[in-house]
Structure 1
Amino acid sequence: MSVQASPASPPVRRVLLLAHTGRVEARDVARAFVKALASHDIRVRALADEAADLGLEPADVDIAVDEVSAAVDCELAIVIGGDGTVLRAAEITHDHGTPLLGINLGHVGFLAEAEPDAVDATVGAIVDRRYTSEERLTVDVAVFRDGELVSSTFALNEASVEKAARQRMLEVVVEVDGRPLSRFGCDGVVCATPTGSTAYNFSAGGPVVWPSVEALLMVPISAHALFARPLVVAPSSVLAVEVLARTEGAGVLWCDGRRTVDLPPGARIEVRRGARPVRFVRLHEAPFTDRLVAKFGLPVQGWRGAVDVQRRTLDA
């Protein structure tokens, strides 16, 4: 007598939810996502403190034991908040390579993909897997003191070396690919990725670099020097900033504005292309130019490019 095997159950689909729960709108949007995804048999995982802030029980969401394992087996992470929340999500998911889908509740939201009023459309794209992911270059950052490695981390946007005290200028020597480039006093030095080119790098006067360009950026902040220009170097280059040993000014390293390391005189910071990129979910293929115009509110009135293209097409 033969026994017919029962059909295997489909694998459970699971997404991680990370939200800026200090904002009422973020809490409302997060709960809407949980309810909508559950109706399509997609489980949501949340950090314990965020689940409590949202008023969700274990019956509603899977509770993550800790941040280290929160993204395990999640096909993507829905991130509800501003760019700061996305940077926190990148930190939590970095080791697992989980794609991030940002829902913008911030002021600019360069890292976000969707708006909070599009919950149904976004859930539909997730359910039907109508999305792609793109990789963004990161940097690995190492801090040395007396030749000894004392700290290492990564950054999605930038690693910035800054003066620790307002009244003290930071004296540094900057280096590219093992060769000294210039020495100057400054408020700091930003080492950024193309993704971070529209963040701190932009505020410091650095260039905007399209995300598809693989490069590293170095931008001095308020440098007292004849040559202290923004630099764009190859992605294989290694950038270094040395805080001069014979100086009264100490510094501090900030990575993505979230993680800090104190830098005494003599400290050396090395920045190189990261071993692991961060992945972002894309729901549609919008040109980066359009994103710049929308996020910065750039004036484009009077542009006739589309008219010219249409005319040339009709005349062909």
Structure 2
Amino acid sequence: MTRKILVLAHTGRQDAIAAAQQACTRLSALGLTPVMRPEEASGLQAAYGTAAAPTETLGEEVSLDGIELVMVLGGDGTILRAAELVRSREIPLLGVNLGHVGFLAESERADLDEAVRWVAERDYSVEERMTIEVSAWQGDTLLGETWALNEAAIEKANRERMIEVVIEVDGLPVSSFGCDGIVLATPTGSTAYAFSSGGPIVWPEVEALLMTPISAHALFAKPLVVAPTSVLAVEILTRTDAWGVLWCDGRRSIDLPPGARVEVRRSDKPVRLARTRQTPFSERLVQKFQLPVQGWRGPVAHSGRHLR
């Protein structure tokens, strides 16, 4: 039985179509079966015609249960879409970055052939990334529940009006203020929306939950880092009639009327990322953000001892 690799790409972009054609061709040449979703297979066929790489179709010839790994060709948004598709099946994702920063991706476009070889030789490890369960309530009424790999972001629904909120940790209120929103993030999401909102960068190995206010009008409105066992909550106060909206990973939304309450806790279902290189997170941080490190001299020996 041949090994089946799902190739997921943003086929609305020409570079993604070209990358999908290259990946599927190489996978097939190495004895693996490339699989694509129907709409993406159609995009490949439209671009290359009879020269399109041979693929099988997800949902028709192949089910998710038959997939060994997903090669994701695109930026972090495409990887989040792939995570949404396969999280319940515990299938690992290997990202090849075609975007800008691409923090979740394992390799770059120039390394695509090498990434395919890693998949063929199973030359990768699997890293589990924490996710969060998110629920929204209005009194005893459940408005909706979902999950996120990066963050649950509560934002004001109207550009002209801020929302008034109370933030809570483990059933106790911490502070109340007006703001443009609150980001409730995982360590993986600390380099995404939470980072752009002024939150701290948290190493992926750290087990924690983050809460970062967005443009808060308060003296005490600092980012919080709490235990992974904590339950975070945000209530939208009824002092005004301003509505909010909950966005999870920028993909799934729930409207939040005044009085709504959002609760976030650690999920028992992680997302699995395939890793082919043991690159330290600090090195990845420097590379992705192009941080200036000129002049660094590194650790030195003191009194005959070497720093480790």
Q: TM bucket by the smaller chain? A: over 0.9
User: For residues 28 and 59 of structure 1, what CA distance do their matches in structure 2 show?
Assistant: 11
Counterpart AA for 1:111? L
TM, length-normalised to structure 2: 0.93
User: Residues 90, 70 of structure 1: CA spacing in aligned structure 2 closer, same or farther, 3 A cutoff?
Assistant: farther
User: For residues 58 and 68 of structure 2, what CA distance do their matches in structure 1 show?
Assistant: 15
Tell whether the 8 Å contact from 2:70 to 2:93 is kept in structure 1 after alignment: yes
Residue 8 of structure 1: aligned partner: none
State percent identity of aligned pairs.
Answer: 56
Residue 119 of structure 1: aligned partner: 112
- Pair 1:61-2:55 in alignment: yes
State which of 36, 60, 68 in structure 1 corresponds to 2:26.
36
State which of 244, 258, 263 in structure 1 corresponds to 2:251.
258
Tell whether the 8 Å contact from 2:21 to 2:53 is kept in structure 1 after alignment: no
User: For residues 93 and 247 of structure 2, what CA distance do their matches in structure 1 show?
Assistant: 22
Counterpart AA for 1:186? C
State which of 218, 223, 227 in structure 2 corresponds to 1:230.
223
Tell whether the 8 Å contact from 1:250 to 1:264 is kept in structure 2 after alignment: yes
Q: CA RMSD in A?
A: 1.9
Counterpart AA for 2:27? L
Residue 219 of structure 1: aligned partner: 212
TM, length-normalised to structure 1: 0.91
State which of 174, 177, 191 in structure 1 corresponds to 2:184.
191
State which of 4, 8, 30 in structure 2 corresponds to 1:18.
8
Q: Which stretches in structure 1 are left out of the alignment for 5+ residues? A: 1-10
Q: Secondary structure at the match of 1:53?
A: helix
User: Residues 284, 313 of structure 1: CA spacing in aligned structure 2 closer, same or farther, 3 A cutoff?
Assistant: farther
Residue 91 of structure 1: aligned partner: 84
Counterpart AA for 1:15? I
Deviation string 1:99-134 (CA, Å, 9 cap, x unpaired) is 110000111000100111122211211111110010
Residue 27 of structure 1: aligned partner: 17
Counterpart AA for 1:184? F
Larger Rg over CA atoms: 1
User: For residues 190 and 201 of structure 2, what CA distance do their matches in structure 1 show?
Assistant: 5
User: For residues 130 and 178 of structure 2, what CA distance do their matches in structure 1 show?
Assistant: 29
User: For residues 230 and 100 of structure 1, what CA distance do their matches in structure 2 show?
Assistant: 30
Q: Secondary structure at the match of 1:129?
A: coil
Counterpart AA for 1:142? S
Counterpart AA for 1:158? E
User: For residues 248 and 148 of structure 1, what CA distance do their matches in structure 2 show?
Assistant: 19
Tell whether the 8 Å contact from 1:157 to 1:197 is kept in structure 2 after alignment: yes
Residue 45 of structure 1: aligned partner: 35
